[in-house]
Amino acid sequence: MNAVLNYSITALAGASNLALMRYKEWKDGIYVYSKEGDVEYGKSRNAGKKAILETAFTRSLLPLPVLFIPAAGNFALEKMRLWPKNVMFAKFIELVLCTFALTVALPMSIALFEQ
């Protein structure tokens, strides 16, 4: 439950920050260019809204593996009764789970948005 709450607040904060910082692009639109970038077609409100919504979606998905992998690993080890009684060893396992989430899962989630 703690991971769900942390994820919800993180996603809400990212989307709220985006909405506040990019409200002008939502209201006035953004410039649209050709694929080569040499021809400007003008401003589009629809393109601005689409860009902001896609960015908000991205900001809500990126923290997902970082927050849920350590929590899921902790939960699984506790259910299998493999969680150590030694506090130092338990903290080491938490560190390993967090390191795994940051070094493996985060780059994989960023790669989802590569075009």
pLDDT band for 7, please (50, 70, 90 cuts): confident
Residue 114: phi and psi, rounded to 5, are: -70, 135
| Pair (45, 18) in one structural domain | yes
Of 23 and 6, more confident: 23
The pTM for the full model equals: 0.70
Could you list the beta-strand ranges (E) of 1-115.
Answer: 30-33, 40-44
Domain count, the chain: 2
| Pair (45, 86) in one structural domain | no
- The CA dihedral of 41, 43, 47, 48, to the nearest 10 degrees, is 150
Q: Is the pLDDT of residue 114 over 80?
A: no
CA of 22: how far to CAs of 31, 40, 110, in Å? Answer: 14, 21, 22
Please answer whether residues 30 and 40 qualify as being in contact, where contact means their C-beta atoms are separated by less than 8 angstroms: no
- CA 11 – CA 108 distance, rounded (Å): 18
Convert the pLDDT of each residue in 18-76 to its tens digit. 989 999 999 999 999 998 989 999 999 999 999 999 888 888 888 888 888 898 999 99
Give the per-residue pLDDT at 31. Answer: 94
Give the per-residue pLDDT at 98. Answer: 92
Owning domain of residue 1: 1-61
| Pair (73, 51) in one structural domain | no
Convert the pLDDT of each residue in 79-105 to its tens digit. 999 999 999 999 999 999 999 999 988
- CA 105 – CA 98 distance, rounded (Å): 10
The set of residues, in sequence order, having a beta carbon less than 8 Å from that of 69 and lying 6+ positions away, is 97, 100, 101, 105
| Pair (9, 40) in one structural domain | yes
| Pair (2, 52) in one structural domain | yes
